[in-house]
A and B are shown apart, each in its own frame.
Chain A
Amino acid sequence: DGGITQSPKYLFRKEGQNVTLSCEQNLNHDAMYWYRQDPGQGLRLIYYSQIVNDFQKGDIAEGYSVSREKKESFPLTVTSAQKNPTAFYLCASSERQGDTEAFFGQGTRLTVV
């Protein structure tokens, strides 16, 4: 089945550790996105990528990093510089920028302990 897979579903991190969230899609989509969702905040854009080996910062990129070495994969690293990383993280992809809807993965809930 085609879709977007995020892993893990739940992740616990100690303060000061870096963690990487996985996002893989087999929809052959060019564009991929990472959003963070906090209660009452909607979805806030962290990073986005339109093509392989290219990505741009979103509205809340500080403390995060990404890579786009393959079309199918867009991993997000939450670094120790992110002061409040506990949140629900959603990855999405779309066929083309602006002309088609985005499809979402099931999300990763990150908790700092």
Chain B
Amino acid sequence: EDKVVQSPLSLVVHEGDTVTLNCSYEVTNFRSLLWYKQEKKAPTFLFMLTSSGIEKKSGRLSSILDKKELSSILNITATQTGDSAIYLCAVCRDDKIIFGKGTRLHILP
């Protein structure tokens, strides 16, 4: 059975800290891995990863995929209160997209 597992499920840090969120997967017919940020309603797209070892970066956020380890990490440096959200990892097969349970991140001022 396909599965996407995120850890930790919940994380509380202080503003300015760096955090690393993890995503591991066991999915047949893997095509790509996606990261989303969900604050209130609709998840917003962050990154799509298809190749191992190539870091994608956007401001203070970065992500990398390790196809050998079947995993990905999302790093957020110099966290701000606006980073508080649920971060969702998803894996695209050739027919559907499977999500993990998400990591709920809370940044304390």
Number of A-B residue pairs at CB separation under 8 A: 67
> Which B residues between 37 and 63 are near A, CB-CB below 8 angstroms?
41-45, 48
Write out the residue numbers on chain B whose beta carbons fall within 8 Å of the beta carbon of A100. Answer: 48
A residues with a Cβ closer than 8 A to B are: 33, 35, 40-45, 48, 50, 56, 58, 88, 90, 92, 94, 97-107
Q: Sorted from nearest, which 7 A-B pairs have the closest CB atoms?
A: A98-B31, A42-B101, A43-B99, A104-B42, A98-B92, A98-B94, A101-B45
Q: How far is the CA of A62 from the CA of B40 in the complex (A)?
A: 27
Q: How far is the CA of A61 from the CA of B85 in the complex (A)?
A: 28
Q: How far is the CA of A36 from the CA of B106 in the complex (A)?
A: 23
B66 → A minimal CB distance (Å)? 19
Residue of B nearest to A44 (CB): B99
Tell me whether B100 and A42 are in contact (CB under 8 A).
yes
Verify if B32 is at the interface (C-beta below 8 Å from A). Answer: yes
Q: List 19 A-B contacts (CB under 8 A).
A: A35-B99, A42-B6, A42-B100, A42-B101, A42-B102, A45-B98, A45-B99, A48-B96, A90-B42, A97-B92, A97-B96, A98-B92, A99-B31, A99-B92, A101-B34, A101-B45, A102-B34, A103-B45, A106-B42
